[in-house]
Amino acid sequence: MSINVPFSRENLDKYLIELAKDFKKRSHGQYAEIILVGGASIIINYNFRLASYDIDADYIAYSTFKDSIKAVATKFNLPTDWLNDDFKQTSSYSPKIVQYSVPYKVFCGKLAVRTIRAEYLVAMKLVSGRQYKKDLSDIAGIIYEQEVAGSPLTYETIDKAVINLYGDWLRISDYAKETLDKILSCDNLKELFMGLSENEENAKATLAEIDRKYPKVINKDNVDEVIAAALKKQKKD
């Protein structure tokens, strides 16, 4: 039985080393490359988020590579999809991601791991823009740490990343745009980060309660409206 393991910067590298070792045995000279996105890209580049519960990545799904992913899952009692490319089915995916990725590490001379530059990670999080996940607090965390590191992100930099990946801002919700404006104009990003994180936890709990009472009512098309209505009702109560 697999367990839902939190992936940290340290244990992620351990699993990637094992993945590279197994792939090296099976590959017969093949070379694999993966691009870490989402939470995985955040935990290897930033300190505000210490763990992620799945590893989203862009890669060419050779059968041997998928076999290696399963082998690592079996060895360490991980979910079989501990490393997956499911995000390719979401609106945040763009085939141009590879153009704007940067090297992270090479493992065993066979597995090249890349990550996403800050402004492109923000662009992808804007498109996801889920109020019940960590998307918006992640944006605040990235922008805060970039500022502390002396490499601040501006609206112009983020706008260029959005255009480069998606061509326009049409995939991004008004709520996500408004939140970005608040983040970029905020004088206390730490406090805003905490507030956004709390809002996301509340939204997640609210959705879970609604789903318990009214199964199968919530879907991706109405989730934002459901959250807004529920939170409005909570304020009245």
pLDDT in tens, 151-180: 999 999 999 999 999 999 999 999 999 999
Distance CA(10)–CA(6), nearest Å, equals 11
Residue 30 lies in a domain: yes
Number of folded domains that form the chain: 2
Closest to 207 (Cα-Cα) out of 234, 172, 182, 177? 234
**84 secondary structure, DSSP code:** E
Query: Of the ranges 61-70, 105-114, 131-140, 226-235, which one carries the lowest mean pLDDT score?
Result: 226-235
**pLDDT value at position 193?**
97
CA 152 from chain centre, in angstroms, equals 20
Residues 108 and 133 in one domain: no
Distance CA(192)–CA(144), nearest Å, equals 10
State the average pLDDT over residues 181-209: 94
pLDDT in tens, 185-195: 999 999 999 99
Domain boundary among 66, 87, 116: 116
Which ranges of the chain would DSSP assign to H, the alpha helix? 9-27, 38-45, 63-76, 118-128, 135-148, 155-166, 174-185, 189-213, 223-236
Q: Identify the three-state secondary structure at position 69.
A: helix
Residue 230 lies in a domain: no
pTM score, whole prediction? 0.91
Residues 41 and 67 in one domain: yes
Residue 231 lies in a domain: no
Residue 168 lies in a domain: yes
170: buried, middle or exposed (CB in 10 Å: 19+, 13-18, 0-12)?
A: exposed
Distance CA(17)–CA(107), nearest Å, equals 6
Residues 103 and 142 in one domain: no
Closest to 124 (Cα-Cα) out of 164, 156, 69, 85? 164
Phi, psi of 197 (to 5 degrees): -60, -45
- Tokens representing 84 are 């997956």
Residues 76 and 136 in one domain: no
